[in-house]
Amino acid sequence: MEEIPPSLLALTTYLLSRVGKSARGRLAGRLAEQGLKLWHMAVLAALADFGPHAQRDLATRLTIDPSDVVKVVDELAAAGYAERARDQADRRRVVVSLTPGGRAALADLDVTARAVQEEILGPLDAHEREVLHDLLSRLQPRLG
């Protein structure tokens, strides 16, 4: 007796919300085991993909409040995953860069994320996963 109301399951919006929440929750849970949160992963990924950033640029890119970036970077620095350095060209700015440890941690997180993915996408075969990923990719840009 744990059926979900069919009129909700008929809504793709509801399914997206539900599946998304589960994905988010599971990933967050795994990250928590390593003492990290989702934003930490996002920042590490941004640093890895685009190189060192001024904190301000991280905030813009990730659509996160600058004051929250400070906290995330604080924690990444405390864990030895990122380093801060004053930008000598503009000494207001602080340039954040990945340490080798941070790069290694990110690689671990990627493995973790793929394991979570394996759990969630279990019922789908390789082709179906690809289709799902493609469809979601096309939705993603619209979101603000």
Contacts of 95 (CB under 8 A, 6+ apart): 52, 53, 54, 84, 85, 86, 87
Residue 67's binding partner among DNA, its own copies, none (Cβ under 5 to 8 angstroms by kind) is DNA
Q: Which helix (H) or strand (E) holds 23?
A: helix 12-33
Is 74 an interacting residue with respect to DNA (CB under 7 A)? yes
| Residue type present at position 69 | V
- Give me the least distance between CB of 106 and DNA, in Å please: 18
Asked if 78 is part of the footprint of its own copies (rule: CB under 8 A), the reply reads: no
Nearer to its own copies, 101 or 103 (CB): 103
Q: Are 95 and 87 in contact (CB under 8 A)?
A: yes
Orientation angle between helical segments 38-50 and 12-33, nearest 10 degrees: 90
Residue 97 makes contact with its own copies by CB under 8 A: no
Minimum gap (Å) between residue 97 Cβ and its own copies: 15
Q: How many Cβ atoms sit within 10 Å of the Cβ of residue 55?
A: 19
CA distances from 84 to 59, 66, 75, 81 (A): 15, 15, 12, 10
- Positions that interact with its own copies (CB under 8 A): 1-9, 11-24, 26-27, 38, 41-42, 45-46, 48-50, 57, 60-63, 106, 110, 113-114, 116-117, 119-124, 128-129, 131-133, 135-140, 142-143
**Interface with DNA (CB under 7 A):** 21, 28, 32, 37-39, 54-56, 59, 64-71, 73-74, 84, 89-94
